[in-house]
Amino acid sequence: MAESNTEQIEQVITDALVTFGAEESAITRDAELEALDVDSLDLAELSQIIEERFGVELTSSDVAEIKTVGDAIDLVAARTQ
């Protein structure tokens, strides 16, 4: 498992969302994924990236709980503790 901290997680998730087409300036902890036009296919891709980088496997029910960027960061941070 890669060494990780919240900042790293935030950066990886932000980079992924930008790759998916979200505006970087709109990506904040409180931003809702739906408002960033992030859909189920993006979330599947995000899960792959998170597993690759942090060794954290997110199930579909985990992903279903993620509403905001902060939710995603916190979930991954909690799993990497």
Partner 1 sequence: MNEVVVTGLGAVTPLGLGAAALHERWAAGVCGIEDGEGRCDEFQATDHFSVKEARRADRFSQLVLVASAEALADAGWVDGLPYDPRRIGAIIGTGIGGIGTIEANDQMLIEHGPKRVSPLAVPLMMGNAGAAAVSMRHGLKGPSYGVVSACAAGTHAIGSAMRAIQYGDATAVVAGGTEAALTPLSRAAFVAVDALSPSGISRPFDVRRDGFVMGEGAAALVLENGAVARARGARILAVLRGYGATSDAFHITAPPADGEGAAAAIVRALEDADVEASDVVYVNAHGTSTQINDRAETVALKTALGEHAAKVPISSTKSAIGHLLGAAGAVEAVATILALRARLLPPTLGLEQPDPELDLDYVPQVARPLELAQNQRAIAISNSFGFGGHNAVLCLEAT
Closest of 61, 4, 23, 54 to residue 69, by C-alpha: 23
Our finding on whether 64 is near partner 1 (CB under 8 A) is: no
Residue written as tokens 């498992």? 1
- Residue closer to partner 1 by CB (options 7, 23) is 23
- CB atoms near residue 81 (< 10 Å): 5
44 touches partner 1 (CB under 8 A): yes
Q: Residues 15, 20, 63, 74: which binds partner 1 (CB under 8 A)?
A: 20
Q: Does 71 sit near partner 1 (CB under 8 A)? A: no
User: How far apart, in whole angstroms, are the C-alpha atoms of residue 41 and residue 21?
Assistant: 13
Residues near partner 1 (CB under 8 A) are 19-21, 37, 41, 44-45, 48, 51-52
